[in-house]
Amino acid sequence: MPFKAILAFEDGSVFHGKGFGKEMFNVGELVFNTSMTGYQEIITDPSYKKQIITFTHPHIGNTGINAEDSESKIIHASGIVVKKFCEKPSNWRSTQSLEEFLIKNKVIAISEIDTREITSLLREKGAMNCCIGAISSISEKNAIKAAKEFEGLKGMDLAKVVSTEKEYEWKQGTWPQNQKSEKSYPVVAYDYGIKENILRLLSDHVGKVKVVNAKTSFEEIIKLKPKGIFLSNGPGDPEPCNYAIKNIKKFLNAQVPIFGICLGHQLLALAGGAKTYKMKFGHHGANHPVQNISSKDVFITSQNHGFAVDIDTLPPNIKVTHKSLFDKSLQGIEFEDTPAFSFQGHPEASPGPQEIQVLFKKFSLMVEDYAKT
């Protein structure tokens, strides 16, 4: 049953709407996502830990929730904000409604909100801390107070929070064919908040993938004799992840092939001597044009990040491979003295376009070459 709910900002702004999902309250950083499809993948992406997502697409919930599209086992977002919520989904793959999924995961949502106004507000003022709550759970005054007291993502290490506790092997390829590479090169994937479609694509291209905790040491991994290291996406600020940066430096020195995505891209850059910064409102969506600097080809990409690598701090041995055509921010790097590269966006494209999945092929060729040495 719907309930009265509020969305309160740290600046004192308050929006009233109709709540659905779990009747409760929560706090987080509010961001907007411009994707027109894929809400299931988005809310289950661990990179949204401690964030509340505003969907700019006006209708959410139409296709329900299915058994295949989640990027992790649970919802990681702190809440969601929509214009219109579809209570009765219509899709042959649907096994439950979005509201049932939210209740199961103890996540609150709010509808009947002018998401265009919120998006304009965030573009003007930047990502803001807010409180989303049922008025039965929190008053307007206390919701504003809670939003102001939220510490924000700057300086927050969330990779260690969402990372797997136990290592495991991933054996599933991309569906529906579930095709795996006929070759089988052992690759270790560091889980900083890894999405399952990344693992499927790694399986497609290299065959054998072991997923490990974010804090697993270089010394433990090198004993496994990996032919490649993958650095995953994840939530929070990359700078506090000293354990990861320390390990990556050792893999760079050991000349083991490295491929990083999103947070993994930022961590690789930090390990190489660059710096990162907090963006005004970040990039969140599936329609972001990115240009390959050498070929001048333009790719439409999926993006989800609130931090970025400062292009002006790259050392001479790291070259720029991709830039955003929205704001010229850095999107890709490659080391010139060791087999390592990374991409800020999401080439696994879940949801989103698949144009830049060629980066997985690039990694597989690096792994294959290294295996021959």
Catalytic residue among 265, 283, 288, 346: 346
Residue that finishes a domain, picked among 149, 183, 208: 149
**Residue in this structure with the two tokens 């697993």, named with its chain if needed:** 216
How confident is the model at residue 178, as a pLDDT? 66
> Please, which residues bridge with residue 174 across strands?
179
Residues 133 and 247 in one domain: no
Task: Count Cα atoms within 13 angstroms, Cβ side, for 22.
Answer: 16
Whether 241 is catalytic is: no
Catalytic residue among 241, 262, 283, 334: 262
Q: What is the CATH number of the domain that holds 344?
A: 3.40.50.880
Q: Divide the 373 residues of the chain into consecutive groups of 10 and give the mean pLDDT of each group.
A: 96 97 98 96 98 97 96 97 96 97 98 97 96 98 98 98 97 75 87 97 92 98 97 98 98 98 98 98 96 97 97 98 98 98 93 90 97 93
Residues 190 and 337 in one domain: yes
Residue 19: what are its φ and ψ, rounded to 5°?
-85, 150
Nearest-CA neighbor of 211 among 227, 224, 234, 194? Answer: 194
Q: What is the CATH number of the domain that holds 96?
A: 3.50.30.20
Total domains in the fold of the chain: 2
Q: Are 185 and 269 in contact (CB under 8 A)?
A: no
Give the predicted TM-score (pTM) of the model. 0.97
Residues 134 and 167 in one domain: no
Q: Residue 140 domain-assigned?
A: yes
Longest dimension (CA), the chain: 64
Distances (CA, A) of 89 to 17, 63, 138, 329: 21, 5, 30, 38
How confident is the model at residue 180, as a pLDDT? 64
Residues 137 and 164 in one domain: no
Residues 178 and 61 in one domain: no
Residues 218 and 199 in one domain: yes
How confident is the model at residue 331, as a pLDDT? 98
Q: Residue 154 domain-assigned?
A: no
Cα angle 286, 163, 200 (rounded to 5 degrees) comes to 50
How many Cβ atoms sit within 10 Å of the Cβ of residue 340? 25
Q: Residue 64 domain-assigned?
A: yes
Residues 214 and 363 in one domain: yes
Residues 203 and 349 in one domain: yes
Catalytic residue among 41, 71, 334, 348: 348
Residues 139 and 31 in one domain: yes
Residue that finishes a domain, picked among 115, 130, 149: 149
| Tens digits of residue pLDDT in 115-169 | 999 999 999 999 999 999 999 999 999 999 999 999 999 999 999 999 999 999 9
Q: Residue 362 domain-assigned?
A: yes
Whether 124 is catalytic is: no
Residues 166 and 117 in one domain: no
Nearest-CA neighbor of 333 among 345, 355, 318? Answer: 318
Residues 65 and 168 in one domain: no
Whether 262 is catalytic is: yes
Q: Residue 337 domain-assigned?
A: yes
Residue that finishes a domain, picked among 85, 116, 149: 149
Residue 63: alpha-carbon gap to chain centroid = 22
How many Cβ atoms sit within 10 Å of the Cβ of residue 20? 25
How confident is the model at residue 351, as a pLDDT? 74
Indicate the SS3 state at residue 288.
strand
Residues 283 and 137 in one domain: no
| Tens digits of residue pLDDT in 229-272 | 999 999 999 999 999 999 999 999 999 999 999 999 999 999 99
Q: Which domain holds residue 10?
A: 3-149
